[in-house]
Chain A
């Protein structure tokens, strides 16, 4: 088993609603999508983002778009209006997720 960082496998876009970070990860091809569906789990995301995400994490596959939706609660340090972070709406999470390591065959 080898490892690749997500940057090589997918694109991503992120946004917010309140303190929820909302991340869409799009596989670059069908084979990668099958891998991401197995590999991107709430547990792995929690381990990856550590204290930057404090709440529940949910993952939803979208077979039609070969994409994985990730919804992370208490992830933006209070949400756009309260957050002390520069990136108060979590737009940059679309790029931080690309550092994640994924097991590939």
Chain B
């Protein structure tokens, strides 16, 4: 039975660089996925590109490729990435140059473009598409329309498969779904189509297990005590058979671990309704999959299934929302709780005096209730409290009000406070990009594939 080996070299923008490097050095893989985008990333990258037409991809992509290319080129490992962000073509050109500088050619680089739907919003609205907010249920996107920074569809595997058919060694896209980085190679290698629900469901489930990098091999784990060297984490590797079953492992000699429980905790992670894990390529049904430890750090996943590909594609719209003024004040024993309450009162009174009405204000007592909110019990005897970090964040529509709040209400209050309050480095005001996830008909998005040749 044909088998292929896929692994994640990155699960997020900011992945420590030793993990991809060691993965490429120690493992002999068919495919490596370099996943670099979070929900807000495209809006950030679009802002960069607006300032500089040669920016807009994730800089980490180049750093990671520099480290893994010598091994992937030698071993014939193909690389699939969404690190092209809002400028996959520029990323492609940079990578072509990198390959030529490193003398690793010839290689074929495929660039996927076309998921930017910013210019199509007006037409969609004219055509009667509602574009309501999937999170909040708000219907009218027009109220944020002038503030939109970026709008990109999450795209699936079609163009990845096409690129691989054309002999691509590296496939670079923008908002390729994290999942597609792995589903695409499986579709290409095993030759199944979107209507093969068992294989699609298996591919989507396996993609989910590896797409967050170290999170399925002991990262962010309930079973952290079983990680032998948590300072040396590795990456997840899926050895997939053409019947859709897979064995999950991790980078050789890395310090995490793979068990039924580490895979289990990842299968319940960020999937929403587990009967319908919706991806652009199809819908994974995670409620049938079975896990079995088959060796040290090896777990077999079987019995996966799926449902038909959704008609609509998800689009993430990023828009300028508001400004936040923030400060932290460390309030020590004695009487920390009484003092923290007084400090809150001082800030509220200052805001009143300057006639500032924040859209939202949050006082967190770090050390007492910041992580658990209303669920956290507050000690009755304040003498047992060594210190409380008061974290104040206030949100305003306009920058000017946020600046005034910071300057007049937050900073001064540090000195108005009772003796002992310690302050750190002041935080500048920050702009908030809001997200408006919505759905568009699949045919809104017209994708284009371009091949670059590195010599």
Show the binding face of A for B, using Cβ within 8 Å.
Answer: 11-20, 22, 24-26, 48-52, 58, 60, 62-65, 67, 69, 71, 73-74, 77-82, 84-87, 91-92, 94-96, 99
Residues on B with C-beta less than 8 A from A95 are: 371-372
Take A15-B270, A64-B287 as given contacts and tell me if A99 and B135 are in contact as well, using a CB distance cutoff of 8 Å: no
Instruction: Select from chain B the residue with minimum beta-carbon distance to A97.
Output: B375
Q: How large is the interface on B (under 10, 10 to 19, 20 to 34, 35 or more residues)?
A: 35 or more
Inter-chain contact B374/A52, CB cutoff 8 Å = yes
Contacts of A99 in B (CB 8 A): 372, 375
Quick check: B434 and A81 within 8 Å, CB to CB? yes
Say yes or no: A96-B264 contact (C-beta < 8 A), given A17-B272, A19-B135: no
Any chain A CB within 8 A of the CB of B60? Answer: no
How far apart are B168's CB and chain A's nearest CB, in angstroms?
A: 30
B274 near A62 with CB under 8 A, answer: yes
Q: Could you list 11 examples of A-B contacts with CB < 8 Å?
A: A12-B222, A13-B222, A18-B39, A50-B374, A62-B274, A78-B360, A80-B38, A81-B432, A81-B434, A84-B324, A86-B371
Q: Does B125 contact A (CB under 8 A)?
A: no
A26 contacts which chain B residues (CB < 8 A)?
222, 261, 264-265, 268
Residue of A nearest to B391 (CB): A86
Segment among B14-22, B189-197, B361-369 that sits at the interface with chain A: B361-369
Given contacts A64-B287, A87-B370, contact A48 B375 (CB under 8 A): yes
Cross-chain contact B272 with A22 (CB below 8 angstroms): yes
Known contacts being A13-B268, A16-B270, is A92 close to B286, with CB within 8 Å? no
Query: A12 — which chain B residues lie within 8 A by C-beta?
Result: 222
Point out the residues of chain B lying under 8 angstroms from A92, CB to CB: 371-372
- A74–B266 Cα gap in the complex (Å)? 23
Is B40 an interface position by the 8 A CB rule? yes
Q: Decide: A64 and B273 in contact? CB cutoff 8 A.
A: no
Cβ B366 vs Cβ A86 within 8 A: yes
List of A residues within 8 angstroms of B227 by Cβ: none
If A86-B370, A87-B371 touch, whether A67 touches B270 (CB-CB below 8 Å) is no
| In the complex, B108 has a CB within 8 A of chain A | no
Known: A49-B374, A84-B395, A94-B222. 20 other contacts (CB 8 A): A18-B135, A19-B135, A22-B269, A24-B265, A51-B374, A60-B273, A60-B275, A62-B268, A63-B287, A64-B303, A67-B268, A69-B274, A82-B322, A84-B324, A84-B362, A86-B364, A91-B220, A95-B372, A99-B372, A99-B375
Enumerate chain A residues within 8 angstroms of B268, measured Cβ to Cβ: 13, 24-26, 62, 65, 67, 69
Q: Would A84 and B361 be within 8 Å (CB), given that A22-B272, A95-B372 are in contact?
A: yes
- Give the CA-CA distance A16 to B286 in the complex, in Å: 18
Q: Is B342 an interface residue (CB 8 A)?
A: no
Within 8 A of A (CB), among B267-290: 267-275, 286-290
**CB-based nearest B residue for A10:** B222
Q: By CB atoms of chain A within 10 A, which of B38, B135, B223, B374 has the most?
A: B135
Closest to A56 in B: B137
Closest Cβ of chain B to A80, distance in Å, is 7
Shortest 5 CB-CB contacts between residues of A and residues of B: A24-B268, A84-B362, A11-B222, A84-B393, A92-B371
Q: A18-B437, A22-B272 are in contact. Are A84 and B360 (CB under 8 A)?
A: yes
Query: Within the complex, what minimum Cβ distance (angstroms) separates B368 from chain A?
Result: 12
Bound form: Cα–Cα A28–B434 in Å: 38
> Is residue B344 within 8 Å, beta carbon to beta carbon, of the partner chain?
no
- What B residues does A60 contact at CB under 8 A? 273-275, 287
The answer to whether B135 touches A52 (Cβ under 8 A) is no
- 0/1 interface trace, chain B 422-435, chain A, CB 8 Å (1 if under): 00000000001111
Contact A67 B264 (CB under 8 A): yes
B296 in the interface (beta carbon within 8 A): no
Complex Cα distance, B369 from A52, in Å, reads 12
Residues of B within 8 A of A77 (CB): 360, 362
Measured CB to CB, the closest approach of chain A to B243, in angstroms, equals: 18
Question: Is A80 touching B273 in the complex (CB atoms < 8 A)?
Answer: no
> Residue of B at shortest CB range from A74?
B136
Contact of B136 (CB < 8 Å), options: A17, A19, A48, A62: A19
A3 nearest CB across to chain B (Å): 16
